[in-house]
Chains A and B, each alone.
Chain A
Amino acid sequence: MEIEIISFGKIAEFVSNQKIDIAETTDTDNLKIHLETLFPELKAIKYKFALNNQLVQANSAIEQNDILAIMPPFSGG
Chain B
Amino acid sequence: MSAERYNRQIILKGFGEAAQQQLLKAKVLVIGAGGLGCPALQYLAAAGVGHLGIVDDDTVSLSNLHRQILFTTPDIGKLKTEVAAKRLQEMNPQIGIVTHPIRLQKGNILDILSRYDYILDGTDNFESRYLINDACAILSKPLIFAAVSGFEGQLAIFNAADNLAGSTNYRDIFPVPPDKGEIPNCAENGVLGVLPGIIGTMAAAETIKLITKTGEPLRNKILNYNLLTHQQYIINISQSSDYVLPKSVAEFLNMEYQDTCEAPHGYEEIDTIALSKLREQESVILIDVREKHEVPVLDKQVFTQVPMSELNAFITKGFSQKHVVLICQHGIRSVAAAETLQEKFGNSKKIYSLKGGIVKSRDYFMRP
Tell me whether A75 and B182 are in contact in the complex, defined as CB-CB below 8 angstroms, given that A8-B224, A50-B235, A55-B237 are known contacts. Answer: no
Restricting to B172-231, which residues have a CB under 8 Å from any CB of A?
Answer: 172-174, 176-178, 182-186, 189, 191, 196, 222, 224, 226
Contact string, B19-36, partner A, CB cutoff 8 A, digits 1/0?
A: 000000000000010111
| Residues of B within 8 A of A (CB-CB), count | 46
Tell me whether A44 and B147 are in contact in the complex, defined as CB-CB below 8 angstroms, given that A54-B238, A57-B238 are known contacts. Answer: no
- Which residues on the A side are within 8 Å of B358 (C-beta)? none
- Which residues on the B side are within 8 Å of A5 (C-beta)? none
Does B153 lie at the interface of the complex (its beta carbon under 8 Å from any beta carbon of A)? yes
Does B122 lie at the interface of the complex (its beta carbon under 8 Å from any beta carbon of A)? yes
Of the candidates A46, A55, A77, the one whose C-beta lies within 8 Å of that of B122 is A77
A77 touches B183 (CB 8 A): no
List of 4 A-B pairs having minimum Cβ-Cβ separation, nearest first: A74-B147, A77-B124, A74-B149, A76-B186
B238 touches A55 (CB 8 A): yes
A8 touches B152 (CB 8 A): yes
Kindly state the separation between the CA atoms of A44 and B235 in the bound complex, as whole angstroms: 23
Tell me whether A57 and B242 are in contact in the complex, defined as CB-CB below 8 angstroms, given that A48-B173, A77-B36, A77-B186 are known contacts. Answer: yes
A53 touches B236 (CB 8 A): yes
Kindly state the separation between the CA atoms of A73 and B224 in the bound complex, as whole angstroms: 11
Interface residues in chain B, defined as those with a beta carbon under 8 Å from any beta carbon in chain A: 32, 34-37, 122-126, 129, 146-150, 152-154, 172-174, 176-178, 182-186, 189, 191, 196, 222, 224, 226, 233-240, 242, 261
Known: A46-B183, A55-B236, A77-B147. 14 other contacts (CB 8 A): A12-B152, A53-B235, A54-B235, A55-B172, A55-B238, A57-B238, A57-B242, A71-B173, A71-B224, A73-B173, A74-B149, A74-B154, A76-B147, A77-B32
Q: Which of A12, A50, A71, A77 has its CB near the most chain B CB atoms (within 10 A)?
A: A77
> Shortest beta-carbon distance, B128 to chain A, in Å?
8
Restricting to A23-77, which residues have a CB under 8 Å from any CB of B?
Answer: 44-46, 48, 50, 53-55, 57, 69, 71-77
Instruction: Give chain A's interface residue range (CB within 8 Å of chain B).
Output: 20 to 34
Kindly state the separation between the CA atoms of A77 and B237 in the bound complex, as whole angstroms: 22
> Shortest beta-carbon distance, A10 to chain B, in Å?
6
Q: Which of A12, A55, A71 has its CB near the most chain B CB atoms (within 10 A)?
A: A55
Q: Which of B123, B147, B235, B238 has its CB near the most chain A CB atoms (within 10 A)?
A: B235
Does A6 lie at the interface of the complex (its beta carbon under 8 Å from any beta carbon of B)? yes
Kindly state the separation between the CA atoms of A15 and B152 in the bound complex, as whole angstroms: 15
- Which residues on the A side are within 8 Å of B32 (C-beta)? 77
Of the candidates B146, B172, B178, B240, the one whose C-beta lies within 8 Å of that of A73 is B178
Kindly state the separation between the CA atoms of A44 and B237 in the bound complex, as whole angstroms: 23
